[in-house]
Amino acid sequence: MKDKNYFLRKAQENYPELKFTVLTPDISEFIASSGNSVILDLGQHAVGHFSFSFDNVERFMDAPVRLIIRFGEDMREINDDISQYNGTVSKTWLQEEILHLDYPQKTDMPRRYACRYIKITVDKTNFPIRFFDFRFVAQTSADTSALMPSDTKDTLLKKIDCVATNTLKECMQTFFEDGPKRDRRLWIGDLRLEALTNYYTFKNYEIVRRCLYLFAAGECNSLGFLSSFVFETPYYKSGETHIADYALLYVVSVCDYYEHTADISVVNDLLQICKSQLDSFEAILDENLIVTMQDGWFTFIDWCPGLEKLTALQGVYLYTLERFSEMLKKIGDEDFNKYSLLLSQVRSACKKHLYDKNSNAFINDLDNKQFSIHSQVWMILGGVICGEEAKNLLLLCLDNKNAKQPVTPYMHHYATEAMMKLGMKDTAVSYLKKFWGGMVELGADTFWEAYVPDDHDFSPYNDRKVNSLCHAWSCTPSYFIRKYGL
Ligand code: RAM
């Protein structure tokens, strides 16, 4: 019987092995008095546990010491004043601890951190103390010894590829995390892009299976859509958020898995869930075959403020229907005709109801006449227009400063994918170099959750300090570079 227990058992069978590496920072010891601080540099982004020792110098400690230890993914996080925090997500994600230690000892800090820099501030000690034996035990389930270098000859692409694979490596823990600093959980949208990049890099199929099963075990909402995220610690719990586009992208993730493994047993386990996601979506189409927005869920698409999302969501639906029908055809499933017929009907409906013939673009009343890159990209990925017509529209919107712009590497991924789909390889390469290369120029050693070239303080959560600087969905340059031999 394929119930929650079955799926959780399968998820457990595919538990990936974590690999540990001991890192030592650039500084091996220092002596400090009250008010002194030191910044350790691990030389690379790392996810794991920190330990250190300290001892008396001349005078024997006669009172506890009070230390403030800050972990930063970059130097801005080390130097930020975190007493001023205005974010919409919990301040507790900021990585800082206050420790009181009663006597000289080796201290193993119990929590896991994501950082490159560690700042130790001695807030109070009665006498100078000496710190030494700094160790950071880094962990990942990615097997870096199995990673082949990319074949690209282009220096910037080579660099981008390294940063991208590093980002993926850091997010590969006991499942694909969205960000090892925040939210440290498994989200469908992130999973889809991590798995895709993983097929061309670390090739860890086990972790993909685990993630697919973890979602299958989750609870659907009243409309029938899967949870958009799951926790596994301290015990399994599927999230209460249901994102329409993520429910669809779960189906795409299963199709990707089949494309890269031909593993029919996993597909058979998950096929009914995939069908139910598409059928639940079909149930909320109006008489014109256009989706109707529902209470109790939200549509993601991108963190772009003020974005109207209906057209883009409809594009995700088409994209999913196409991928799913292709897979059903390959596996000889009897429902192939049903979904492929729906695909062509919905495509025609989108051209009729979402496209504006005067402006030759997907601008419509359902999205309050908003012109966005998001809508154009998803309608192209959904196959509503193609060839020269699609190329012209894509170039037009990319060039239009008034069009709503992507703010996450997630949405930039799908824009790049649209270019590749239309055979615009050169445009895609320049786009990729400009966007992801921009982060490299700013010193990124992992790619960020959000990046707006004109606004380095942009945050989806109203405070940059809580942005994740090593974020799963930004790892896809390695997918493009390796798949298309860039
Ligand atoms: C944030 C995370 C995650 C994303 C969701 C929608 O909480 O950044 O990566 O998938 O939003």
| Residue pLDDT, tens place only, 206-253 | 999 999 999 999 999 999 999 999 999 999 999 999 999 999 999 999
Return the residue whose CA atom lies nearest to atom 6 of ligand 1: 300
Nearby residues of 428 by Cβ (< 8 Å), 6 or more positions away: 416, 419, 420, 480, 484
Q: Which is the closest atom of ligand 1 to the Cα of 189? A: 10
Amino acid at 361: A
Identify the residue whose C-alpha is closest to ligand 1 atom 3: 178
Are the CB atoms for 166 and 144 separated by under 8 Å?
no
- DSSP states of 175-224: SB-S-TTTT-SEEHHHHHHHHHHHHHTT--HHHHHHHHHHHHTSPP-TTS
- Tell me whether residue 475 is exposed, middle or buried, using C-beta atoms within 10 angstroms of its C-beta: 0 to 12, 13 to 18, 19 or more: buried
Does residue 183 line the site of ligand 1, with CB under 6 A? yes
Whether 297 shows a pLDDT value over 90: the answer reads: no
Per-residue pLDDT tens digits for 373-394: 999 999 999 999 999 999 999 9
Ligand 1 atom 5: residue of nearest CA: 187
Q: Which fold has domain 19-140?
A: Jelly Rolls (2.60.120)
Q: CA-to-CA distance for 318 and 345, rounded, in angstroms?
A: 10
Q: What one-character DSSP code corresponds to residue 333?
A: -
483: pLDDT confidence band, cut at 50, 70 and 90?
A: very high
Q: Are 446 and 166 in contact (CB under 8 A)?
A: yes
Q: Which atom of ligand 1 is nearest to the CA of 300?
A: 6
Flag whether pLDDT at 296 surpasses 90: no
pLDDT of 429 reads 98
When pLDDT is cut at 50, 70 and 90, the band that residue 291 belongs to is very high
Please state the atom number of ligand 1 nearest to the C-alpha of residue 89: 7
From the candidate CATH numbers 3.30.450.20, 1.20.140.10, 1.50.10.10, 3.30.9.10, the one assigned to the domain spanning 144-483:
1.50.10.10
What is the SS3 assignment for 364-389? Answer: CHHHCCCCEHHHHHHHHHCCCCCHHH
Q: Report the length, in residues, of the chain.
A: 486
pLDDT per position as a tens digit, 93-147 = 999 999 999 999 999 999 999 999 999 999 999 999 999 999 999 999 999 998 9
Each domain of the chain, given as residue ranges in start order, spans 19-140, 144-483
Of all atoms in ligand 1, which is nearest to the CA of residue 468? Answer: 8
- Summarised one tens digit per residue, pLDDT across range 18-56 is 999 999 999 999 999 999 999 999 999 999 999 999 999
d(CA 38, CA 36): 7
pTM higher than 0.75 for the full model? yes
Q: Is the peptide bond before 183 cis (omega within 30 degrees of 0)?
A: yes
The reply to whether ligand 1 has any atom less than 6 angstroms from the CB of 300 is yes
Do the domains spanning 19-140 and 144-483 agree at the CATH topology level? Answer: no
Q: What are phi and psi of 114, to 5 degrees?
A: -120, 115
Report how far ligand 1's centroid is from the alpha carbon of 187 (Å): 7
CA of residue 449 to ligand 1 center, whole Å = 8
With a pLDDT cut of 70, the percent of the chain lying above it is: 100
